[in-house]
Structure 1
Amino acid sequence: MSHRRRRTIVLALLLGGSVLPLATAPPAQAAQGCLHDVPVVPILTPAGCDDTTPPVTELGTTAPRITASGWINKRTLRVGYTGRHSDADPDPIAFQCSLGTDPAVPTDQEWYDCPEDRVFRRITPSTTPYVLWIRAVDSADLSVRWSDGNLLSSNDEPVDDVDPTPVRLTFRIDNVAPDTRVAGLPRDPFRPDLPMVGTARPRLRLSATEAATFQCTVNGVDVPCTGGTTTLPALRPGDQVLQVAAVDRAGNVDPSPATVRFAVPANLAPRGRTPGWKQVRRRGYLGGDYLRSSRPDARMVLRVGRFRELRLLATTGPRAGVVEVRLGRRWQRVDLRRTTTTVHDQVRVRDHRAAPLPGRVEIRVVRGRVQLDGILAH
C-alpha cells in the first residue's frame, strides 16, 4: 500500500489540572518471515507483521494464439495466467490488469481488476500494438493498511502486496480475411474451363490482397505451395481441382479459396519395348522424353479409363507425319502437318461432348515422321 504522510499528534492527559505529555514509544519492527500483514496495535499486536513477499505472476497460453509476428484475428482475447506464492503464504491471489496502447508500465490509477473469466472483449482492430499488463495480488494483505504503530514516523508498509514484475503481452488485431488469386494456367481454345497443361508439375502464380502464406489442395489432398511462382508436385494424369486459400499474418484464412481446374496428360513413354517407336530422352518434354517413329504401320496400344475427349500432345509442323487413331471400331486420321513447327502442340482427336468410349486407344503411323509426347483421355 502507498506510504502516507503523518501529522505529528501530541496526546495529553489532564491529571490534577496539569497537562502531561505522553512519551512516544520507539518504532515497532515487523516480525520476520511473516505470511500476513498485521498492523501494530499497542497491547493487542505490539509486534505486528508485514508480509514483504508479494506473489509471482505466471503467463500461460492465449486464444486465439498470438502469431510470431504479434497478431491475433479476433476482437476477443482469452489469456491464461496464474499466480503463486514463493513462500508458504496461504492467502488467496487476485489479479490486476491494464490494457492500452501505451508501452510504459501502468500507473497505480491505470490498474483494474482483471475479468474473472480471463477474457478481454470488444477490442478494436488496430495496427497499433496493444499492450496488456497482468500482475498477481495478495488480495488478503492488500486490504490491510499495515502500520508500525508509531504516530510520529512514516514507516508504513515498505513493500506492496502486488507482483513488482508484471507480465506483459503485446499484440495487434486484424480480423479481415485476405482474398486469394491464382494465375498461370495456359489458355485453352478447346476447354477454357478445363485447360490442358503440358507437364505433370505445372507452375502457377499465387497471390493475395495482402501479405500471406498459402494452403493448397489438389483433389482434396494437401500439397506444398508458396506465394509467387510455385511448382506443384508431380500429379497423376487426368482432371485436377486445385484449391488455394491465403492465410494472412493474423491467421485469417480466406473463407472462399480460389479454385481452378485443369487436366494433366499421360506420358507416352513405353513400358517395355514398342516395335517401331524410339524413346528419346529430352528435357522440357512430358516425363523428360517423347516417342518418335517414321515407320509406316508402327503401332502402340494404350490402356486408359473410359473417356469422351481425346487429345494428343505432339510436334506439328511442315515436316510432321500423319497417324490414325482407333476409337472403338473406327480409325480416325490425324494430320500433324502445319505451316509452322510447334513442339508441344495440342491436337484434338475427339470432342468432350461425344459419347463415352471404353478405355483402349490404338495409334498407328500412316506416313512421315511422327513425334508424340503425351495423351489426354478423359
Structure 2
Amino acid sequence: MNKLVFLYNAHEKRISWLISDDSERLLKKGHSKDLSEVYEEGMEVKGFIFSPQFTSKRLEVPPTSKKQIMDSIPFLLEDHLIGSIEDYHFVSSSRNKEGEILVSLIPITTMEQEVNDLHNEEFFIHSLSPLETAFKGEPGQSFMVILKDLSILSLGSNGGYCAETTTILEFLETELIESNTSSLKVFQDKKTEHIDWKSYTKVKVDIEFFEDEVDFLKKVSPLLNDNLNLLQNSFAPKVMWSKYFHKWKYVLAGFLLVVTFYFLQITLEIYQNNSAALKLVDQSKSLYYSAFPNEPKNRDLKTQLRKKFRNNVLIKEPFLITVQNITEVITNNENVSLYSMVYDRNKNQIIVELQCAQFEDLENIKSIFLEKGYLINVGSSKRVGNSILSEIFLQKS
C-alpha cells in the first residue's frame, strides 16, 4: 500500500507531499493546493503542520491514569496561556520515565480553519502532527528549520514552537541551555541569508541546506514520527458516508427495492387473507340466517351459535366444525375456490357451489369429503368462462 506524507505550511497555505511504497521507495513528489489531486485509493495519509499559532510545552505530571492526566492539563497550563483553556485544542503524549508529558496547544478557531482547509470527503487523513514535536533524535539533540523569515524550533521532549527567525535566534541560547541540548541540527533554506551561529549559541551546529519545502520534506521524513496526532476528540476523522453512498448506491438501491417488494407482497397477502376472512364471515352469516330465518340479525352471531350448540338442534357433527372442515378442504386445494355455501335445514344438508378449472378437481374434492365420512352428491355443473361452476350436497353420515 502506498503512503502519502505531506507538509502543510499553514502560514502560507501551501502543501508539499511525497508518495512512497511499502519499502519507503520514493515514487512521486511535488506541491499541490489540494491533496485530492494526488490521492490514490487505499493510500495511508499522514501529515505534518507548522504555524506560528501552534506551540508545545513540557509538563510534569504525577503517576496516574491517562484520563486524570488529561483532566489536570487545563490547570497546569493556566499560567502559560492568554485567555481561557476552553479556547484551545490540545493533545498530549504519554507520560515518560521522568514523569513528563508533551502537550501541543492550538487555538480552536485556528484548528477549525486548518482542518477545514485540508478536509476532503474522498479520504481520511490518518494523522496530523505539529512539526515542532515530530522530530526524533538522539538524547540532547534539538532541531531547527529555517524557512525564509519563519523558523521552527524543536527541543525534543521539551516541546517547541514556530515563530519569526529573528525571534527564535534571539532566545536560542536560553532555550538550548534549558533543554540540555548538546547538538543542534539545522535545516536551512538555501535562499535565506547566512547566519553566524557562533554569535547565537555555543552548542555544536550541524547545517543541512534544502532547495524548497518538498526537498526539505524528503530530507527529514526519516526523522519524523506522528507521536502527537492533532486529529482527536472533536477533530477526529469522521466516517465519510457520502463516499460509501456513492460507491454502494446501486447495491443499496437494489437491496431497498427487494425489501420494498417483499413488504408489498406481505401487505398484499394480508389484504387478500383479510378479504377472504371477511367473505367467509359474510357467507357464514348468510348460511346461518338461511337456516334460521327467524333469528334476530342485530344480535351477536357467536352468541347465537353457542346457544344453538347447547340446545343440540343441529346435525350430529357440530355445525361450525362442519363448516370449518368444508372451508379447510377447499382452501387446501389450489385449483378449487368457494363460490357459495347454503344450509338446507329441511334436508339437513349443506349445499356448496365450487369453482374449479376442470372436472378432475371436483372428483378430488369429492373423494376427500368421502374419506372424512361425509355423504356427498354432485349436483348440476356449468362452464363459466374458463372455469366450471359445480354444485355438491354434503351431509354428515
Q: TM-score per shorter chain, which class? A: under 0.3
The structure that is strand-richer by fraction is 1
TM-score with structure 1 setting the length = 0.26
Q: Which has the higher contact order (CA 8 A, sep 6+)?
A: 1
User: Counting helix residues as a fraction of each chain, which structure ranks higher?
Assistant: 2
